[in-house]
């Protein structure tokens, strides 16, 4: 009997066995998300499913839209009206969302888009993991635009990075893309919720009276205060390149500062956006740079290698875009060889090679057979190259 009481106590100690997708929902609700519009798709369905149960309880709104184009449109509209909003999808839906993601970039509307990566292209492999949407998260929508994308590899990170995704979107007035892979999204691990405090960032509102408000005015940080629709501040929102008042412009002297400003939002705050973790890289001869579920295999491979006397290390990158070149460059300088394992034909390895400048030899492991890269495969590569 006593033991049963203990069980009950443990059960209510907020320790839960959560799936990655469920942890994303928990993180979103903690961050203050109150609007979700989406269209269910494997392997992201659970996010919609749980959101539809949880949002009404906190006075939020859940809408199942007719498709992903409309979902993204609804998310932008809700955000302009003041709600922290998000949507979740997988590859095919993410392709449909691209047009409106560009709209959110140019109109500077904060929102979070979760993309649970599945095998592609097209309908591809609905229930299998892949990491093929890395470049789509950067350049999926047309035109030159800033991008923020985060990628968790544990359930804890699913929760924390979702909160950070909302914070970044509100802070920088830019859509933030959360890239999960099928393994992380469907994996279950223990997580204790509410034991830590992550600060919540809410969008900066104008302090001037409505008639003085200039909606896209440049500021030292490059991020203009954002008025919610319906609060008395009237301004124009358009997908056309606009002047500081939000109306379409074709004057080069207005276009250039605008495009430069939306890039400056990210470049000026580059260090704030970098999230990653190094593991034994200080004295490593061979370093592995990995993300998502593969980072877990890599950690195991690094531990195995260390046990056999090989000086290996791991840099796990959580911020995919903007590419965290400061940490990567450090690893490239201290290691002789760098291995980039990923479940695509080489998307992050391209970036690593781009920033390399001949400091280290860069090797890749590219696996596209719909199964996760195993620790043995990474370990064997470590042994090969060192």
Partner 1 sequence: MGNRYDIRLSGSGGQGLILMGIILAEAIGIYDGKFVAQTQSYGPEARGGSSKAEVVVSDQEIDYPKALRLDLLLAMNQKSCDDYYMDLKPTGVLLVDSTFVNQIPIPRAYQIPFTRIARDRFKKEMVANIIALGAISWLTPIVSVKAIEAAVLARVPRGTENLNRNALRAGISAAKKVEKTTLLTPSNFLENEDT
Residues that bind partner 1 (CB under 8 A): 3-4, 7, 10-11, 15-17, 42, 126-128, 183, 186-190, 293, 296-297, 299-300, 303, 307, 372, 374-375
| Start-to-end CA span in the chain (Å) | 57
CB 342 → partner 1: shortest distance, Å?
16
Q: Which is nearer to partner 1, 183 or 284 (CB)?
A: 183
Query: Between residues 18 and 78, which has the closer beta carbon with respect to partner 1?
Result: 18
Strand partners, 190: 17
Question: Of 42 and 61, which has the nearer Cβ to partner 1?
Answer: 42
Positive or negative: CA dihedral 304, 308, 309, 310:
negative
Least Cβ distance, residue 188 to partner 1 (angstroms): 4
Q: Which is nearer to partner 1, 190 or 245 (CB)?
A: 190
Sheet order of strands, 337-342 included: 276-279, 312-317, 286-290, 337-342, 361-366
* Beta carbon nearer to partner 1, 300 or 325: 300
Cβ proximity to partner 1, 186 vs 350, nearer residue: 186
Kindly state the smallest distance separating residue 2's Cβ from partner 1, in Å. Answer: 11
Minimum distance between the CB of residue 129 and partner 1, rounded to whole angstroms?
9
- Torsion from C-alpha of 182, 183, 187, 193, nearest 10 degrees: -80
Question: What is the nearest approach in angstroms of partner 1 to the Cβ of residue 317?
Answer: 16
Comparison of 20 and 246: residue with beta carbon closer to partner 1: 20
Q: Decide whether 72 or 117 has the Cβ nearer to partner 1.
A: 117
Please identify, using beta-carbon distances, which residue of 255 and 368 lies nearer to partner 1: 368
Neighbouring C-beta atoms of residue 239, cutoff 10 Å? 14
Beta carbon of residue 304, minimum distance to partner 1 (angstroms, whole number): 8
CB of 171 to partner 1, least distance (A): 31
Q: How far is the CB of 365 from partner 1 (least distance, A)?
A: 15
Report how far residue 229's alpha carbon sits from residue 215's, in angstroms, rounded to the nearest whole number.
12
User: What separation in angstroms does the CA of 27 have from each of 51, 178, 184?
Assistant: 11, 12, 15
Q: Least distance from C-beta 1 to partner 1, angstroms?
A: 11
């Amino acid at each position: 009997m006593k033991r049963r009481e203990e069980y009950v106590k443990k059960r209510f100690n907020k320790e839960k066995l959560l799936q990655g997708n469920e942890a994303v929902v928990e993180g979103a609700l903690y961050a203050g998300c109150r609007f979700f519009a989406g269209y269910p798709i494997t392997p992201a369905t659970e996010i919609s499913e749980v959101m539809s149960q949880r949002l009404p309880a906190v006075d939020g709104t859940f809408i199942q839209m007719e498709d992903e184009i409309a979902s993204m449109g609804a998310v932008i509209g809700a955000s302009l009206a003041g709600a922290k909003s998000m949507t979740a999808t997988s590859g095919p839906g993410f392709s449909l969302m691209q047009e409106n993601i560009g709209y959110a970039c140019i109109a500077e509307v904060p929102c979070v888009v979760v993309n649970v990566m599945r095998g592609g292209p097209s309908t591809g492999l609905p229930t299998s993991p892949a990491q093929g949407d890395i470049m789509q998260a950067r350049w999926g929508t047309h035109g030159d635009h800033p991008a923020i994308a985060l990628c968790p590899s544990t359930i804890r990170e699913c929760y924390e990075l979702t909160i950070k995704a909302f914070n970044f979107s509100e802070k920088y007035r830019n859509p933030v893309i959360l890239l999960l892979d099928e393994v992380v999204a469907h994996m279950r691990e223990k997580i204790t919720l509410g034991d830590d405090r992550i600060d919540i960032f809410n969008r900066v509102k104008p302090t001037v009276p409505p008639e003085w408000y200039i909606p896209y005015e440049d500021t030292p940080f490059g991020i203009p205060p954002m008025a919610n629709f319906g609060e008395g501040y009237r301004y124009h929102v358009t997908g056309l390149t606009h002047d500081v008042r939000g109306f379409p412009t074709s004057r080069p002297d207005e276009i250039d500062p605008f495009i430069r400003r939306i890039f400056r939002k990210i470049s000026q705050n580059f260090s704030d956006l970098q999230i990653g973790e190094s593991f034994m890289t200080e004295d490593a001869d061979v370093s592995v740079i990995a993300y998502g579920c593969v980072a877990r295999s890599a950690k195991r491979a690094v531990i195995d290698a260390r046990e056999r006397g090989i000086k290996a290390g791991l840099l796990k990158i959580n911020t995919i875009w903007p590419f965290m070149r400061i940490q990567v460059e450090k690893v490239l300088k201290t290691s002789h060889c760098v291995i980039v394992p990923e479940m695509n034909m080489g998307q992050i390895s391209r970036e690593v090679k781009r920033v390399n400048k001949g400091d280290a030899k860069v090797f890749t492991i590219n696996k596209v057979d719909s199964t996760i890269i195993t620790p043995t495969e990474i370990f064997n590569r470590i042994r090969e190259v060192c």
